[in-house]
Amino acid sequence: MSQQKNIVVLLGGWSSEREVSLVSGKAAAMALRKLGHKVEEIDAGPDLALQLKNSFAGAGPDIVFNGLHGLGGEDGVVQGVLETMRLPYTHSGVAASALAMDKTRAKIVLANAGLPVPQGDIWQREDFTDAPAMDCAHVIKPNRGGSSFGVYIMGEGDKRSPRKLIAAHEESDSEFLVEPFIPGRELTTAVMGERALEVTEIFAANDFYDYEAKYSDGGSRHIVPANIPEGIRALCLDYALRAHKALGCRGLTRTDFRFDETQGVAGLYILEVNTQPGLTPTSLAPEQAAHCGVGFEQLIDWMTGDASCDG
């Protein structure tokens, strides 16, 4: 995209991922300014439509770069506002954003597309009791959430109370996904349009790739390309692109995997598809793009050129 545009970068917002969004959005805004565009940063609020209308001295933006994360920003809500205003925006559209954010429904779509996903059940907040410990390791996560907020790993015989854990969860989620814990390696693959980029293996400094591991200095190590069998690498690339398409995504996405190498090919599972991958200094998608020869400014330029207001 060579022609100068008026671009609003949405950042911040009201979800628990606000701080991550502020970093992602500011990084994107800096890149867009270096590319020669006029940029205004908007901390998205409930009056977003008015904020956008008043931007650029009332002229409004040509394009909106959506740097929001979490509820409200990547679940179809903001996307609906932008489509109603007929403003081209980056990342996936309303339907794909809403579907990918709802982990249970996304898993149904992925499974129907022949992609491997863990078994699991949806529990309402009131379903959790102080019952005896589970007989195998499980993961409990909000059905609609990201950045590992509110995710708990319950080991076999774990004596902690699930009710007390989820009671401490900040968001107003009423639904939680309960899945068997898959041991093994943490892998991820970014998709850029019609292209799956590479496979990264993530080594968290602690036992779990949680919020701190994702966004703090030294919280994790990323190995790109991952040191995995070529057949598994090929499957990750294939599965990520197929998941991107099955959910109706566009732009940049990132698919997260667990790989239990003791099970071979059968041990590779898709955990989720992220329609708004982070753009922070420690983020995985820009790192993979750079490995493939696409620098950060080039990536942001491509994403902006891919913007649309038609889903």
Active site residue: 41, 201, 272, 287, which one? 272
Active site residue: 16, 55, 97, 274, which one? 274
For the question of residue 201 being annotated catalytic, the response is no
Active site residue: 13, 16, 17, 72, which one? 17
- Torsion over CA: 124, 125, 130, 135 (sign): positive
For the question of residue 18 being annotated catalytic, the response is no
For the question of residue 210 being annotated catalytic, the response is no
Active site residue: 254, 269, 287, 301, which one? 254
Task: Round to whole Å and give the CA distance between 241 and 236.
Answer: 9
For the question of residue 267 being annotated catalytic, the response is no
Q: Is the Cβ–Cβ distance between 295 and 287 less than 8 Å? A: no
First to last CA, the chain: 20
What's the length of the chain?
311
Number of Cβ within 10 Å of residue 246's Cβ equals: 20
Place of tokens 């898959």: 182
For the question of residue 256 being annotated catalytic, the response is yes
Active site residue: 93, 145, 267, 278, which one? 278
- Residue 282 per-residue DSSP state: T
Active site residue: 89, 215, 239, 269, which one? 215
Active site residue: 147, 201, 220, 269, which one? 147
Active site residue: 62, 256, 287, 301, which one? 256
Whole-angstrom CA distances from 295 to 15, 21, 285, 301 are 29, 20, 11, 10
Q: Is the Cβ–Cβ distance between 79 and 13 less than 8 Å? A: no
For the question of residue 254 being annotated catalytic, the response is yes
For the question of residue 172 being annotated catalytic, the response is no
For the question of residue 147 being annotated catalytic, the response is yes
Report, as residue numbers or ranges, the catalytic residues: 17, 147, 215, 254, 256, 272, 274, 278
